[in-house]
Amino acid sequence: MKRLIILKHFKTIAAATLIAVAVSAVLSCAGKNEGAGTASNGQKRMKIWFDTGGSPGESYGSVLQNGAAQAAEDLNIDIRFVYSDWSAEKMLKNFKEGLASKPDGMVVIGAPGDDAYGPLIDEAFNNGILVTCVDTPLPGMYGKYQSRGFGLIGPDNYNQGKLFAEKCLDYFKLQKDDKVFVWGLKSLPGRGRRAEGIIDVFDKAGLKTDYLEISPEINKEAALGAPVLTGYLSANKDCKLVVIDHGALTAQAGNALRSAGIAPDSVAVAGFSLSPATAEAVKSGYVDLISEGQPYLIGYLAVTTLLQSKNAGFGGLVIDTAGGFVNRENIDEIAPLAEKGIR
């Protein structure tokens, strides 16, 4: 099986192409940025504040940051990254502090939800600061501010979960009454839709699904999850499939299983997001199937679309970046890009 990315996500590729054309036009009109603080037409360089969501060095957030940083370099934008340890409370606190620095644009992850973020985003737009959203949607804010540049860039969480679960049914030849373990973040607004999509498909197929919510501590520090995973498998030897709805925990799965003396391919494991550790786990047989959200592309497009909105008044875009599936049949093609922090 070759990569399942190109045709399925032609709309994403087409959108990215249109963005590149639009940015070229915007830069030719607005003046390409040069020097420490100004563009060639004398305008100040755009300043963007960007919440990566996780912790410094964390697998998913690092790739997201790499994409945003590359866009900032390509477009000569000043960018500042902050880290929220996947804590909704910290995201809101960081945003309040970010407002005080008066950037031109801000990029948020929508985990706190519309109700929590709404008053702060209102304040930003009221003060002439653009905001857009990545990874987890804020549909209420999109409806309110789309015409002023607020977009939603990242996977459609429910649809990504649904398609991944359907792929798992076929790929692992699952049958009615097979036991599966889903480890996810159903409690988080928006973000939890991915786990809901997975479970809905499994329930419809008649599987016996054990669901466990990822704790806030493990969500922040994935290495703490190893005893949870190995403990479950020790107590449930009839489990046919583990689905880890968390990129950093998927990256840790190989080390966790290896340390517990669990052999490769003794249990099927499926998860989300690529990293060098995840690529190695796929190669070694500890992780069998990955659904990719393409965080590098998310970060790159978020910065690019904010520039469009600032310089030309474009509205926000909805771009689904979910990128198909990765397994041992195509990992050799993709792993070098994971090593570079691109995939």
By residue count, the chain amounts to: 343
Q: Measuring CA to CA, which residue among 275, 270, 276 is closest to residue 327?
A: 270
Residue 291: strand, helix, or coil: strand
Bridge-based pairing of strands 268-272 and 289-291 is parallel
Which superfamily is assigned to 157-291 in CATH? Response regulator (3.40.50.2300)
Q: How many CB atoms lie within 10 A of CB 211?
A: 16
Q: What is the pLDDT of residues 83-111, one digit of tens each?
A: 999 999 999 999 999 999 999 999 999 99
Q: What is the pLDDT of residues 279-296, one digit of tens each?
A: 999 999 999 999 999 999
Does the domain spanning 10-21+45-155+293-323 belong to CATH 3.40.50.2300? Answer: yes
Beta-strand pair 289-291/325-326: antiparallel
The pTM (predicted TM-score) of the whole model is: 0.84
Give the orientation angle of helix 10-30 with respect to helix 295-312, to 10 degrees: 40
Higher pLDDT, 9 or 267: 267
10-21+45-155+293-323 and 157-291: identical CATH topology: yes
Nearest to 190, CA basis, from 272, 126, 108: 108
What's the CA gap between 138 and 66, in Å, rounded? 23
Backbone angles phi, psi at 273, to 5 degrees: 75, 140
pLDDT of 8-26, one tens digit each? 333 444 444 445 444 444 4
Model pLDDT, residue 38: 56
Domain ranges for the chain, please list them: 10-21+45-155+293-323, 157-291
Phi, psi (degrees; rounded to nearest 5) at 141: -70, -35
